[in-house]
Chain A
């Protein structure tokens, strides 16, 4: 095919004007400035370009061929008479294949009637601008297109055909659909406002959130979505944002509220994204309804508050109860003893035994009360954690337990004891309870040997206190850390059974864990973790 061939047939009879005469370069170049619209055919016609196009004019043909939009001409009965290179590229038919064929070759099924209507309008001399429809390629692919169609007149004025310029907007439409889908499917409300604060776009979620139809929103001021009391301030803030836009969350540190169509309010979180458009700055805002989150937060806060209160009450109760319980016990013990002391010669042996039981009972109860008090004190005072030299703490504990250790011939080896974030007294209590237990629950046939070590595990130190004692049945691994739980009958081993409960409470208050591994008859190793120095809790 040749360029001239394609565009010389329809206007055979006419002789074109000389090429030098006012070629409408401007008419064609206008498309460079506005990609979104095909050049108006009208202007081509007015310029005389089309008339001259039906001439032999080479320049004209060159222009038509070089236009990047497809240009197709056809007779009034729909036979293709012109087919430029852009048309070849878009539709896949060469000019030779297309010319002489029905325009129907590029019209998909279901759109044939449309052709008749267009041709009828062209026959009446009407121009059609920006007609959006669908066409198809040689291989059957559908295209979104914009058509601009103008009648073609013979020099006599008679309409002999139609010329159409095709703009392929398939990509543009696809991009729009993607955008549309993304916006509409977004679980957050989305709105865009212009520099004047008018709403230019909303999505379905925003309609749902505020109870407005988008037709009520578009074009209205964004203030309609705000509680009345905030509107004035908002207008000011909006201007500030316009002057100094940034991507950010709106109202940092403030609670934001939206106002529904019915006047009710709901808490929102708003993200602001400034964008610049041709006609001034726009802001894209995302709106999340945080009613559910706020309610959940409130519920958790209320629950925490209740827990805090009941914890505090419990500690206060334990403290007061333990304190006040000690007094009468002291009386019972002292005066039963005084009874024996003063009137011992008037009592028989049984009476002395009974007095012994009473005194012992009171003493045991006093120990329990004392331990309960110690337990309640672990959290009743808010102590801050400081770097503590665990080696010094262990040394102090060993000194305190000196008598017990000597009596049992125990050997204690301290392998490593690092700096940990702790409360010195409490850490001492943990070691005292663990080392004390290790000695107390010794195997009868061998001297206690206790190994104390520590190893670093991420941000924590893991301490181990290992003994060669009687061991603990691991079935009791949970019970052993509970208050007043003892695994042995009274008399065999002394103690109220609170030492490990206190140790556990202290370790957990430090953000650590405590557990043990044991082999019955061979020994037990207690492990606990504490935050290393320099580690935030």
Chain B
């Protein structure tokens, strides 16, 4: 993939979610969106997520995602810490992070935005609502908005982006 992403290039989403059922559900929800389905990688804990995004250790070849979906309730390293890490690293700061959690606590909401979350969503109830959410996320973040070139693209055009 060289230069700007092609019209039908697959968008990459990193889902950081420890609940396999929720991970499945999210994948199902994104699958059924018309057009080219996004490629979704799932990581089940915060430590791994940070390694992945910073291309550390076994993830040194990882391709940065276009969008991160982040659950807050994670084992070991919590979602807010992952968020803080993403937003403090030069190499990952530009990646939009959507907090997707079941927490409705205003404390979590405020803290997330303070740490630089790009938006905060609570997991909707029922399959229909979940699909609707996925569709709107996709349309907004992966179709409507202009994002900085992700992953490989970024490396190509690196200096120009600074």
Contacts and interface: CB of A to CB of B under 8 A. Distances in A.
B28 A338 contact: yes
Contacts of A333: 125-127
Contact of A334 (B103, B104, B105, B127): B127
A257 to B, nearest CB: 47
Contacts of A327: 19, 102
Contacts, number: 37
Contacts of A394: none
Interface string B28-61: 1000000000000000000000000000000000
Contacts of B104: 323, 373
Contacts of A323: 102-105
Interface residues of A, number: 16
B138 interface: no
Interface in A301-346: 323, 326-327, 329-331, 333-335, 337-338, 341
B147 interface: no
B120 interface: no
Given A323-B103, A335-B21, A330 B127 contact: no
A363 B21 contact: no
B125 A331 contact: no
B35 to A, nearest CB: 20
Contacts of A334: 21, 25, 125-127, 130
Given A326-B102, A331-B21, A335-B21, A366 B28 contact: no
B126 A363 contact: yes
A438 interface: no
Contacts of A331: 21-22
B125 A341 contact: no
B154 interface: no
A341 B105 CA distance: 32
Contacts of A80: none
Interface in B64-121: 102-105
Contacts of B158: none
A45 interface: no
A330 B128 contact: no
A323 B21 CA distance: 18
A395 to B, nearest CB: 24
B102 A359 contact: no
B53 to A, nearest CB: 26
Given A327-B102, A366-B125, 9 more contacts: A323-B102, A323-B103, A330-B126, A334-B25, A334-B125, A334-B126, A334-B127, A335-B25, A373-B104
Interface of B: 19, 21-22, 25, 28, 102-105, 123, 125-128, 130
9 contacts: A330-B123, A333-B127, A334-B21, A334-B25, A334-B127, A337-B128, A338-B28, A341-B127, A363-B126
10 closest cross-chain pairs (CB), A and B: A337-B127, A334-B127, A333-B126, A331-B21, A334-B25, A327-B102, A330-B125, A338-B127, A366-B125, A326-B102
Interface of A: 323, 326-327, 329-331, 333-335, 337-338, 341, 359, 363, 366, 373
